[in-house]
Chains A and B, each alone.
Chain A
């Protein structure tokens, strides 16, 4: 479904991704693992087509079509979306309206169901604003609910576990599985080995390089057995 070929990304005259190659199959949960600063989020932004993350070299191919030159919304129209690690806030926009934005057919019932899916009570949240009055964990869940309502073909979830307390971690894992069950392919970015294990396959990113690819079990074991900040990491 998604093929990344020799991807190189340069930002502020610094290479942040180098020679990255991997492929994600349809309806798969594919983990991207790595320490902070490894380039995981940069990879997410590059796949989504964000400004400043255009490939310096290499190709991003989605369902057989190179999408390097497509902007964010054009990629979104193809069915790609991103749940950001640090979510934006929107003054004056209700949670309900925010959830409706990505829907192909506006359905208020589905907006409520999406909130239930991330363990938020629709009655308490639909009319709240997507602004700074929400806690980090609430905002994170609303972002995940927005992905749910969008029914994307490919969802890139950038650290969906960050800002979520340990007790709610199971709900995030359940959410990812539900998403896949609805036909969405998931790229799950995390630096937590226990979360990465829900992926079928995974890649380890370090210092901008793809260091290892394989089953999530293999990659997690490799990740846990190495000093990730050392140059020998590679």
Chain B
């Protein structure tokens, strides 16, 4: 079977629908390891990918005022047990552009796999970007995932990122997202991860609200069990009038797992405000007992609660 077909098969097994790659109205990019297997640009959206030594350069540009009706699908994966993938993504949303990106990262058999994503997102004024990244990992755990993003949000622009790694073993995850928002710009970053075995999870997300009326939300939902470890550093800095932010972190710990949360909140203007809440520990007993009173065993109740939180 060709690499492309194998990639689509893995994508389908991970819950995706490969037919979208045939649809001429949908922009997409399919990459196995450091090889581009397919890509499509559409009207108003230019998507190019160039292979280079040790990685791939991807450029994405959405033209001014263009609203892309269907989500752009990015499919990154490494099918062999060993391999390294390095993606350098430069994305520019011109003024008033509006786009959703759905990135599937498929690593079904990792023994010694490394996935590095080094992304830059520039949202010009009034642009909107919804970026959802869903990981499907096998159960072997031999994988390192290192997503790094630098995000600039212009006036009245809005970015929403959603990172999801709740199926299979995490391996080692080291997220580092840094975003900054100009006047009335909005940053929303949500991360949901479920760690097992000896998985290591490190999430560092920071937002700089330097524009008047800028808004920021950093939300993390992490569950760790067995010997997995997690560390979440959520940082918001508000330095302009009417800048508002909220940091919201929940980490659920089971078995011998360990969790750490570090909310960092800086307010550098008297008319700015940031709030934060964090809860770390076992599953809320009241929630467990409520479900047990409906007939679920304790372990079943915990699974339902964690499943909901990570949905």
Contacts and interface: CB of A to CB of B under 8 A. Distances in A.
A89 B279 CA distance: 14
Interface stretch (A7-15, A77-85, A115-123): A77-85
Interface string B287-301: 101111111111001
B308 interface: yes
A93 B294 CA distance: 15
B22 interface: no
A76 B308 CA distance: 22
Contacts of A51: 285, 289
Interface string B98-120: 00000000000000000000000
Given A92-B309, A93-B308, A102 B295 contact: yes
B296 A87 contact: no
A146 interface: yes
A120 to B, nearest CB: 19
Contact of B292 (A76, A89, A146): A76
A84 B290 contact: yes
Interface in A71-128: 71-73, 75-77, 80-82, 84, 86-93, 101-102
B280 interface: no
A229 interface: no
Interface in A1-55: 48, 50-51
Given A92-B310, A93-B308, A76 B295 contact: yes
Given A90-B308, A92-B308, A92-B310, A150 B286 contact: no
Nearest to B192: A92
A93 B287 CA distance: 12
A87 B290 contact: yes
B292 A92 contact: no
Contact of B294 (A50, A87, A146): A146
A72 B46 CA distance: 58
B289 A50 contact: yes
Given A73-B298, A90-B287, A102-B294, 19 more contacts: A48-B293, A51-B285, A71-B298, A73-B295, A73-B296, A73-B297, A73-B301, A76-B292, A76-B295, A76-B296, A80-B293, A82-B293, A84-B286, A92-B310, A101-B291, A101-B294, A101-B295, A150-B294, A150-B295
Interface in A144-171: 146, 150
A224 B221 CA distance: 49
B275 interface: no
Nearest to B297: A73
B308 A72 contact: no
Interface in B81-138: none
25 contacts: A51-B285, A51-B289, A71-B298, A72-B289, A73-B292, A73-B297, A73-B301, A76-B292, A76-B294, A80-B293, A82-B293, A86-B286, A87-B290, A89-B287, A91-B221, A91-B250, A92-B308, A93-B304, A93-B305, A93-B308, A93-B311, A101-B291, A101-B294, A101-B295, A146-B294
A154 to B, nearest CB: 11
B293 A81 contact: yes
Contacts of B290: 84, 87-88
Contacts of A146: 294
Given A88-B284, A88-B287, A101 B304 contact: yes
B293 A72 contact: yes
B54 interface: no
B44 interface: no
B305 A76 contact: no
Contacts of A72: 289, 292-293
B281 interface: no
A-B CB proximity, top 6 nearest: A92-B308, A102-B294, A92-B311, A93-B308, A72-B292, A76-B295
A77 B295 CA distance: 6
Interface in B255-302: 284-287, 289-298, 301
Nearest to A90: B308
A44 to B, nearest CB: 10
Given A73-B297, A76-B295, A101-B304, A91 B289 contact: no
A26 to B, nearest CB: 20
A166 B41 CA distance: 59
A87 B294 CA distance: 13
A48 B308 CA distance: 25
Interface string B139-183: 000000000000000000000000000000000000000000000
B307 interface: yes
B109 to A, nearest CB: 29
Nearest to A130: B308
Contacts of B298: 71, 73
Contacts of B287: 88-90
A6 to B, nearest CB: 25
